[in-house]
Structures are given as structure tokens and as C-alpha cells.
Amino acid sequence: MTAPAPGGRVTSTEPLVPAPQASRRPPAVTLAGVSKQFRLPGRDLLALRDVSLEVGEGEFVSVIGPSGCGKSTLLRLVAGLIEPSAGTIVIAGEPPAQARARRELGFVFQEPTLLPWRTALENVTLLLEVARRGSAAQRRQRGLELLRLVGLAEFADARPAKLSGGMQRRVGIARALALDPKILLMDEPFGALDEITRQRMNMELLNVWAQRATTALLVTHNVGEAVFLSDRVLVMAANPGRMIAEVTVGLPRPRRLDLLEDKDFFALSARLTRQLHSGEASGAEPAR
């Protein structure tokens, strides 16, 4: 991969390890020249500048970058929760707001945000109830299937206070899948977990992704997590938030935990870490 030129722009990219050749997948998520500016008291903050990216159908893509580089803002734009100041976003062939209205998107937040008075099953079926999808019996069956998918069927009647942090996050993933979204957006879903629990959750997530054939876009601070999960990793720099590198992960699937000891895994992780530091070294740019 060519090092970023002054100003953080990447002149070319290449896989860090050989990747299998595959036919190009139709795009599920496309951003072209997207910028986002927020108006703050006394000044404007340019959170994202000229971001372009594409995620193919069924692909798993991660975005890494330092705190404050606009990763969460990027996900909110894709989800149609906020509007870009410039550029275009297309989700499953339509604008983000329409994709969200058609239940094409599932969102997993940094915190599981489960309703404490509802059981795990009732939290999973909440979106089905709001969307008036199916009968009560059908919603219950769907919820149980999803809890079984994330390994929590025996905890269907447990309330969040009785679940560990990792279990709560699994309930959050099951809830995001309730309406069978084509695209799963995840904002640091495992950031607060210890390393062993995080690794287990990564395996659970890969199992869900493989079984559901869902397109996945993950924001994470953890370089190793990004390499372990992804087909590609996008690297951002801050001030303003911008893309500085794209790395293809050519590691074989299915991924297993012994991959964490593989030399190619370490090489990818080290190269991405250097990319992150090169982005920080490129210098902060004032918002205009």
C-alpha cells in the first residue's frame, strides 16, 4: 500500500496479503463525496470531509480510526439518522431514509439499550411489535429463533439485569436482526467488554453474519477485531474525518480463534496500526 500523501490522501491501495479473486459484488452501501458539518456556538465543525466508500452485498467491512474522527457520524449518516452536508448516499438502491423506513437496516449501538422491564425475548420482539409484524405467536417464535441463533434461547425469560454484559449485547444483535435487515450497522458493540468475552462475541457475530448472509458495516477502535472479522478494513484520520487507507483482508474463512496467533494476522494488524499512526502524524486540519 502506498503511504498517504500530505493531507492524508491515499494515492493507491493493495492487499497486505494475497486475497482470493472473486467477482465484484453489487453495492449495498455507497457513499460518494460525503461531508458533514455541524453548527456549534460560535463556529462550524467539519466532522467528515469528502468520504467515499462502497460495501458490497454480503461483505463485512470495518472502519477504524482515532476517537473523534467521525466514525459514529458516518454510521448515523448511513442509517439516515442525520443528513449529509454534501455528497450522496445510496443504501440498497435508495436513499437512507427510505431504506430505514423499509426496514432494510439493523443498528447495534455501543450500549445494548435494552428495556429493563422486558425480558430478553420481549426486547428482541420489540421491533416486530412496533412494526406490527405477524401475530403474537409468530413474533414469539421469531424471537426464540433469533435468541437461539445468538446462543441465548435458555435465557428468553430473563430480564437484562440478570444477563452479563456480553449476553446483553447478544440480545441487542438479535433485536437488530428481528426485521431481517439487509444491512447490519454496528457502532463499537463490544467496546466495553474484556478481551476474552470480546473474542467470544466476535465468533458469535461471525456465526450470525455467515448464517444470515447480511451485509455488515462495523465501527471499532480495535485493530485486531477489525482484521479478524472483516473482508476489508477502512482507515480514517481526524480533524476533519476522512478516509486515508483501504486494506483487503485476505485471510481464509471461516475464521477461528487460532487465527489470532497466525503470522499473517499479526502482519495485517501491525500494518493497520502504522496506517493509523501515519494518519495522526499527517497533522490536524482546522474546521472551516
Beta strands in the chain (DSSP E): 27-40, 43-56, 60-64, 86-91, 105-108, 183-187, 215-219, 232-237, 242-248
> 268 and 211 in one domain?
yes
- In the β-sheet with 86-91, what is the strand arrangement from edge to edge? 43-56, 27-40, 86-91
Q: Are residues 265 and 186 in the same domain?
A: yes
**Domain presence at residue 159:** yes
The answer to whether residue 34 is domain-embedded is: yes
83 and 222 co-located in one domain = yes
Are both 272 and 189 inside the same structural domain?
yes
Residue 169 lies in a domain: yes
The residue to which cell 444491512 is assigned:
183
Among the candidates 180, 207, 238, a domain finishes at 180
Q: How far apart are CA 138 and CA 144, in angstroms?
A: 10
Decide: 92 and 104 in contact? Cβ < 8 Å: yes
Q: What is the CATH number of the domain that holds 32?
A: 3.40.50.300
Residue 286 counted as domain residue: yes
The answer to whether residue 72 is domain-embedded is yes
Domain assignment of residue 145, given as a range? 113-180
Among the candidates 154, 180, 206, a domain finishes at: 180
- The Cα 84–Cα 212 span in angstroms is 30
Same domain, 140 and 251: no
Contact (CB, 8 A) for 188 and 212: no
Same structural domain, 98 and 200:
yes
Q: Does 96 lie in the same domain as 142?
A: no
Name the domain boundary from 180, 214, 235. 180
Respond yes or no on whether the N-terminal peptide bond of residue 252 is cis (omega within 30° of 0). no
231 assigned to some structural domain = yes
Are 38 and 176 within one domain? no
pTM reported for the whole predicted model = 0.84
| Separation of alpha carbons 105 and 181, rounded Å | 5
| 226 plus 210 within the same structural domain | yes
Query: pLDDT tens, position by position, for the chain (288 residues)?
Result: 333 333 333 333 333 333 333 336 789 999 999 999 998 888 888 999 999 999 999 999 999 999 889 999 999 999 999 999 999 999 988 999 899 888 899 998 888 889 999 999 999 999 999 988 899 999 999 999 999 988 899 999 999 999 998 899 899 999 999 988 999 999 998 887 788 888 888 998 998 898 888 999 999 989 999 999 999 999 999 989 999 999 999 999 999 999 999 999 999 999 999 998 886 655 444 333
Q: Which residues contact 43 (CB under 8 A, 6 or more apart)?
A: 287
Residues 175 and 189 in one domain: no
Distance from C-alpha of 123 to C-alpha of 133, rounded to nearest angstrom:
15
Name the residue among 108, 96, 93, 53 with its Cα closest to residue 233.
53
22 domain-assigned = no
21 domain-assigned: no
Whether residues 281 and 201 fall in one domain: yes
Amino acid letter, 30: T
Q: What is the tally of structural domains in the chain?
A: 2
263 shares a domain with 221 = yes
How long is the chain?
Answer: 288
